[in-house]
Amino acid sequence: MQFLDSPPPFLFFTGKGGVGKTSIACATALHLVSLGRKVLLVSTDPASNVGQVFGQTIGNRITEIAGVPGLCALEIDPQAAAAAYREKIAGPVRGVLPDSVVRGIEEQLSGACTTEIAAFDEFTALLTDRAIRTAHDHVVFDTAPTGHTIRLLQLPGAWTGFLEAGKGDASCLGPLAGLDKQRDRYGRAVEALADPTQTRLVLVARAQDSALGEVARTHGELDAIGLCDQYLVVNGVMPADGAEGDAVAGAIRRREQAALRDRPDVLRHLPIDEVSLKPFDMVGLEALRTLFAPSIPAADLPATGDLAAFAAPRLSSLVDAIAADGPGLVMLMGKGGVGKTTLAAAIAVALAERGHPVHLSTSDPAAHLAETLDGSLANLTVGRIDPHVESERYRRQVLETRGGALDAQGRALLEEDLRSPCTEEIAVFQAFSRVIGRADAEFVVMDTAPTGHTLLLLDATGAYHREAQRQAKGSLAPALTPLMRLRDGRRTKVILVTLAETTPILEATELQADLRRAGIEPWAWIVNDCVAAAVPTSALLRRRARNEIAAIGRLSAIGVARRAIVPLQLAEPTGIDGLSGLSGAA
Catalytic residues: 18, 20-23, 45, 503
Q: Which of 531, 330, 338 is nearest to 445 (CA)?
A: 330
Between CA 241 and CA 279 the distance in angstroms is: 13
Within 8 A by CB and 6+ apart from 429, the residues are: 449, 450, 454, 455, 458, 482
Between CA 194 and CA 226 the distance in angstroms is: 5
Residue 429 contacts residue 454 (beta carbons within 8 Å): yes
Between CA 114 and CA 88 the distance in angstroms is: 12
Burial label for 355, CB within 10 Å (0-12, 13-18, 19+), is exposed
Sheet of 329-333: strands edge to edge?
380-384, 358-362, 443-447, 329-333, 492-499, 524-530, 563-567
Within 8 A by CB and 6+ apart from 319, the residues are: 347, 350, 351, 354, 583
Between CA 398 and CA 410 the distance in angstroms is: 13
Q: How many CB atoms lie within 10 A of CB 577?
A: 11
Q: How many CB atoms lie within 10 A of CB 311?
A: 7
- Going by DSSP bridges, is the β-strand pair 63-64/71-75 parallel, antiparallel, or unpaired? antiparallel
Q: Which of 536, 518, 550, 65 is nearest to 527 (CA)?
A: 550
